[in-house]
Chain A
Amino acid sequence: MSAVAGMGRAEAERAGARNVRRRRWRVVLRHAALLAWVAVIMFPIYWMIATSFKEKHEWVAWPPHWLPHDPTIKNYSQIFVFDVQRSGVAREATEQPFNVWGPLADSLLICTLSALVALLLGTFLAYSISRFNVGGRHFRHAILMIRMVPPIVIAIPLLMYYAIMIPLATEAVLGTRILLFDTRVGVSAIYIATTLPFVIWMMLTFIEEVPYTLEHAARMMGAGRMYTLRRVVLPLVASGMVVTFLFVFILNWAEFLLALTLTHPDVVTLPVLLNKFQSASEGRLFGPQAAIGTLITIPVVILGVLIQKHLIKGFSFGTIRK
C-alpha cells in the first residue's frame, strides 16, 4: 500500500478501479455463501411443511416428491379429532385419528403458568441482586451453575420424589395424598425451577440499565420502595419482561426430557406427543407427525422473530454496553 502522494494520476485511477472490482466480487461471494446456508436452514423446515400437506402414499415415495402432488389437509383433520373414542378405530393404522387439542392445551397452560411465575420471582430477585447484592457477590454465577446441571441427573430422583415421597409426606402431614407426578402443577414446578436462572440473568441485564439516580430522585421526592418499584423501575423494564417471558415460554415449549419423565399417561405436552408417534408407529405416520411438528414450530418461530432483536442483547452477557 504505497501512499497516494507518491503515485501518478493514472496509477491512482487504476488502483481505484481494481479496488472497486475486488469489492464487488467480495459482496457477491458473501451473499452466495449466506444464501447457501439459508438454503441449508430452510430445507428441513420446508420438507416438514410440505410433508404435512402430502397424501400418505407420497410420504415415503421413491423418488421423493419435492412438492406435494395433490395437496391435502387430511393430516391436520386427522390430528384435530375431539373425541377419538367415538370416531372408532380406523381400518388402517395410518388413518388413526388423534386428539391434539389436549396436548396443545396442556402445553399452553404449563408453559404460560410456569413462565409467569418464574418471571415474577426472577424479576424481584434480579432487582434485589442488582440493588442490594442479595446472596453475595457470586450469587449470580451460582445461579448460572444450577442451569448447567444436566436435567437427566435430576430426572431420576425427581420422578421418585414426585411419585413416592411427596404423596407419602403429604399423607403423613396433611392427611391427603398430593400427587405431583403426571400433573400440570408438577411439570410447571420443575419448569419454574429450571428457567429461573435464565429469568434472573436476563432481567439483571435489563434492570442494571435503569440508572440508580432515577430511584434516588424518586426517593428524594418521598416515594417508598414499593412505589418506586411500581412507578419507576417496572415500567422501564416492562419490555424486557415481555422478552424474558417469551424466551422462557419458548424454552418450556421445547422441553422434552423432563416432561417425558414426569408424565404418563394423563398429561401430554406436544414434544412428548410427537415422540409417541415416532416410537409407537415406527415412522409410518409421517404425515400427521409433520402436521404436529408444523403446529409446534410455527408459533414459537413467530414469537422468536418478535423478540430476536432483544435476544441479541440478552445473549451478549454483558459484552455489549451502550
Chain B
Amino acid sequence: MAQIDLKDVVKRFGPHLAVKGVNLQVRDGEFLIMVGPSGCGKTTTLNMISGLERPTSGEIAIGGRVVNELEPGERGLGMVFQDLALFPHLTVYENIAFGLRVKKVPQAELDQRVRAAAEAMHIASLLAKRPAQCSGGESQRVALARTIVTNPSVFLMDEPLSSLDAKLRVDMRTELKRLHERLKSTFVYVTHDQAEAMTMADRIVVMSKGVIEQVGGPLDIYRKPASQFVAGFFGTPTMNFLAGEIDARDGTLAFASRSLREPLGDALPPSLAGRSIVLGVRSEHVEVGRGETPGRVQLIEPLGNESLVFFEFGGDAPLVAKVDAETRLRPGDNLTFGFNPAGYHVFDAASGARLN
C-alpha cells in the first residue's frame, strides 16, 4: 500500500510561511496533481513528501508509516525533477543504473532491469549516449526510466514537462497517463499548468498561498470551482467575472450591477439578499445574439474550430464569449448577448468562497 497522508503539515522558511497547515490524503494508485501559481507551496509540499525538505511541524505518512525522520532514499519513492537532473557525466545506461548501484544490486540483475526499463520507455537505442546527446523528449524518457527502474511505490514529479516545447509536452501527457495505467503506482505531480492538470489527473489539488483551495476530480473543479481563485485558474479563456450585488426586489434573487441585471434562479438561499458578490460566467455560457443586452465587439481571436469574441457592454471590463468559427462579426460591430443561467458561478466578493 502506498497511500500518503499529510496531517497539519507546515513549512516555514525563516519568517516566511510557505505551507500553512496542509491536510491531504493521496490514495493508493491514484494520479494526483498539485497545481497553483508559482510560490503557492506546491513544490515545497512535494519536497516534504520526498524528504528533501523537513516539515516545520505536522506529520507525513507513506503507507501508514510516519516518515518525517526518514532520509529521501529510505522512503521508497522515485522522483522526476523539473530540470530532469540527469547526470551529465554518465551515460544513459549509468544514469538508469545509478539507483541500483547505490543499492548494490548484483550486476546480472542490474543489467536486466536497466534494459527492461529502457525498453519500456523506448530508449534502448540510447543507452550508450550521454544526456547532452539526447533530445528533450529523449531526456524526458531517460529521466522516467531512471525512476521506474527502482520500482518505487510512489512517483513524485516536479513540473517534469516544463522544459519541453508545446507539441512534445502534449504528447508526453498522454504517455505519462499511459505509464500510470500500466504501473498502477501512486503519482504525485506538481505543475502550474492547469491544462496539464485537467488532462492527466484523477484528482487535482489546487493550492494558493500555502493553503489548499480545493481537492476534486478535473470536471468537478471545472464545473464547480470552490472559490473565485480556482474558477479563474482553470479554463481558457479565463472566466468572466462581474462585480455586483444580490438584489431581491421582485421576490426572486437577481444579480445587479451598474449596467446589468440578471435573475439568478432559485439556486441561492434568500438570506443572501443585499450581499456583494462576484458573478462568474465561462465564455461558453455567454451567448451572443440571444439576449437583449447590447455590446460592441473589440477583438476577434479565431481558434480554428471556434472563435473568441471580446466585447464591451458598459461594465468594468470587457466580456469574452465563444462563438462559431464562421461568425461574421468584425471589430466595431454591435451585438446583443445573454447568459446561460446553468453556467452561473456565484462567489462572495470579500472571501471569494462559492455561494451557489
Residues of chain A with a CB closer than 8 A to B98's CB: 218, 221, 223, 231
Question: Is B118 positioned at the interface, with any CB of A under 8 Å from its CB?
Answer: no
- On whether the beta carbons of B87 and A221 are closer than 8 Å, the reply is no
- On whether the beta carbons of B89 and A235 are closer than 8 Å, the reply is yes
The count of residues in chain A whose C-beta lies closer than 8 Å to any C-beta of chain B is 17
Which residue in chain B gives the minimum CB-CB distance to A218? B98
Question: Is B74 positioned at the interface, with any CB of A under 8 Å from its CB?
Answer: yes
- The listed residue (A213, A227, A236) touching B85 by CB distance below 8 A is A213
- The listed residue (A219, A231, A236) touching B72 by CB distance below 8 A is A219
Question: Is B39 positioned at the interface, with any CB of A under 8 Å from its CB?
Answer: no
Least CB distance, B141 to chain A, in whole angstroms: 16
- The listed residue (B52, B88, B89) touching A219 by CB distance below 8 A is B52
Least CB distance, B28 to chain A, in whole angstroms: 20
Residues of chain B with a CB closer than 8 A to A227's CB: 102
CA distance A231 to B102 in the complex (A): 10
Interface residues of B in 141-171 (CB under 8 A from A): 146, 150
Question: Is B73 positioned at the interface, with any CB of A under 8 Å from its CB?
Answer: yes
CA distance A219 to B78 in the complex (A): 10
Given known A-B contacts A216-B52, A227-B102, A221 and B85 have beta carbons under 8 A apart: no
Which residue in chain A gives the minimum CB-CB distance to B101? A231
Question: Is A136 positioned at the interface, with any CB of B under 8 Å from its CB?
Answer: no
Least CB distance, A64 to chain B, in whole angstroms: 55
Question: Is B83 positioned at the interface, with any CB of A under 8 Å from its CB?
Answer: yes
Question: Is B99 positioned at the interface, with any CB of A under 8 Å from its CB?
Answer: yes
- On whether the beta carbons of B83 and A221 are closer than 8 Å, the reply is no
Question: Is A217 positioned at the interface, with any CB of B under 8 Å from its CB?
Answer: yes
Interface residues of A in 218-236 (CB under 8 A from B): 218-224, 227, 231-232, 235-236
Question: Is A160 positioned at the interface, with any CB of B under 8 Å from its CB?
Answer: no
- On whether the beta carbons of B102 and A223 are closer than 8 Å, the reply is yes
Residues of chain B with a CB closer than 8 A to A235's CB: 89
Given known A-B contacts A219-B72, A222-B103, A214 and B82 have beta carbons under 8 A apart: no
Question: Is A211 positioned at the interface, with any CB of B under 8 Å from its CB?
Answer: yes
Which residue in chain A gives the minimum CB-CB distance to B99? A221
Given known A-B contacts A219-B73, A220-B73, A222-B73, A236 and B81 have beta carbons under 8 A apart: no
Which residue in chain B gives the minimum CB-CB distance to A235? B89
Least CB distance, A218 to chain B, in whole angstroms: 7
Question: Is B283 positioned at the interface, with any CB of A under 8 Å from its CB?
Answer: no
- On whether the beta carbons of A213 and B82 are closer than 8 Å, the reply is yes
CA distance A235 to B98 in the complex (A): 14
Residues of chain A with a CB closer than 8 A to B140's CB: none
Question: Is B111 positioned at the interface, with any CB of A under 8 Å from its CB?
Answer: no
Least CB distance, B303 to chain A, in whole angstroms: 37
CA distance A235 to B150 in the complex (A): 24
Interface string of B207-239 (1 = CB under 8 A from A): 000000000000000000000000000000000
- On whether the beta carbons of B81 and A216 are closer than 8 Å, the reply is yes
- On whether the beta carbons of B99 and A222 are closer than 8 Å, the reply is yes
Residues of chain A with a CB closer than 8 A to B82's CB: 213
Which residue in chain B gives the minimum CB-CB distance to A222? B73
Residues of chain A with a CB closer than 8 A to B81's CB: 213, 216-217
Question: Is B71 positioned at the interface, with any CB of A under 8 Å from its CB?
Answer: yes
- On whether the beta carbons of B87 and A232 are closer than 8 Å, the reply is yes
CA distance A206 to B98 in the complex (A): 23
Residues of chain B with a CB closer than 8 A to A231's CB: 98
CA distance A231 to B78 in the complex (A): 19
CA distance A224 to B77 in the complex (A): 16
Interface string of B58-80 (1 = CB under 8 A from A): 00000000000001111001110
Question: Is B45 positioned at the interface, with any CB of A under 8 Å from its CB?
Answer: no
Residues of chain B with a CB closer than 8 A to A214's CB: 85, 87
**Most B CB atoms within 10 A — which of A213, A222, A223, A231?**
A222
Which residue in chain B gives the minimum CB-CB distance to A236? B89
Question: Is B194 positioned at the interface, with any CB of A under 8 Å from its CB?
Answer: no
Question: Is B191 positioned at the interface, with any CB of A under 8 Å from its CB?
Answer: no
CA distance A218 to B50 in the complex (A): 12
- The listed residue (A220, A223, A224, A236) touching B88 by CB distance below 8 A is A236
Interface residues of A in 274-320 (CB under 8 A from B): none
CA distance A217 to B88 in the complex (A): 13
Residues of chain A with a CB closer than 8 A to B72's CB: 216, 219-220
Given known A-B contacts A222-B102, A223-B102, A217 and B85 have beta carbons under 8 A apart: yes
Which residue in chain B gives the minimum CB-CB distance to A216? B52
Which residue in chain B gives the minimum CB-CB distance to A219? B72
Residues of chain B with a CB closer than 8 A to A232's CB: 87
- The listed residue (B50, B83, B87, B89) touching A220 by CB distance below 8 A is B50
Q: Which 6 A-B pairs have the closest CB atoms?
A: A222-B73, A221-B99, A213-B85, A217-B85, A235-B89, A220-B79
| Extra 4 A-B pairs, beta carbons < 8 Å, given A222-B99, A223-B73 | A213-B82, A220-B51, A220-B72, A221-B73
